[in-house]
Amino acid sequence: MRYSLKPPSLVQYFVVLGKLLYYKNESQVQMLLESATFLEAIR
């Protein structure tokens, strides 16, 4: 797999958020993930 399209820092960021969602399945965490994805999309 090629990760040249995404910066390593961004990949790490989503990995950490993914772990948070896995270990702490809360609606607030999911909202944080969605808002972060939205902010990254309009950047």
The mean pLDDT value for 10-16 works out to 82
Instruction: Please say if the pLDDT value at position 9 is more than 70.
Output: yes
In a domain, 25, yes or no: yes
In a domain, 31, yes or no: yes
Which pair of structure tokens corresponds to residue 35?
A: 């808002």
In a domain, 2, yes or no: no
Given this model, what pLDDT does residue 4 score?
60
In a domain, 27, yes or no: yes
Enclosing domain of residue 17:
8-41
Residues in contact with 33: Cβ distance below 8 Å, sequence separation at least 6, in sequence order: 17, 20, 21
pTM exceeding the 0.85 threshold for the entire prediction: no
In a domain, 16, yes or no: yes
Q: How many domains does the chain have?
A: 1
* Phi then psi dihedrals of residue 24, to 5 deg: -130, 85
Residue 5 pLDDT level (bands cut at 50, 70, 90): low
In a domain, 26, yes or no: yes
In a domain, 1, yes or no: no
